Amino acid sequence: MHAFDVLGDPVRRRILELLGTGERTAGEIATRIAEEFGISQPAVSQHLRVLREHGFAAVRPVGTHRRYAVAPAGFTEASEWLSPFERFWRGPLAALDTEVARGKRQRRTQTRRTDCDDTPEERKHHG
């Protein structure tokens, strides 16, 4: 199964989102996913197995619980597959970054001008 086949399932993506905030027990994951998707604990276990087998999740036993965490291997495969296509979004994202920075600069400049336009009495109240 390819990394994007694994990530193509909304349940598995949601499990990864949960794990992205920190380790969770299998029970915590099953409860949350069952509430959100209406699927059984065995179905959640199958999704966790797929994530483990394809390098997206790691598991470690802690007492009687199994704690799951994000593992990097699956994401590495996805990233490697995507890398030849980065040129399609790298330029537009850089341009967006430039525009965001320009907007921040303009707001700072406008704020300074507004502060300078204050009367001496208003400046006393600002600080």
Reported as a single tens digit per residue, the pLDDT across 66-112 is 999 999 888 888 888 888 888 777 777 777 878 888 888 888 888 77
Fold of 3-77: Arc Repressor Mutant, subunit A (1.10.10)
Please state the pTM of the whole predicted model: 0.67
Tokens representing 39 are 């699927």
Dihedral through CA 102, CA 108, CA 109, CA 110, nearest 10? Answer: 110
Q: What is the mean pLDDT of the chain?
A: 87
Phi, psi dihedrals of residue 53, rounded to the nearest 5° = -65, -25
Tokens representing 47 are 């999704």
Q: What residue spans define the domains of the chain?
A: 3-77, 87-117
pLDDT tens for 16-37 read 999 999 999 999 999 999 999 9
Tokens representing 33 are 């996913």
* Model confidence at 40: pLDDT above 70: yes
CB atoms under 10 Å from CB of 24, counted, come to 19
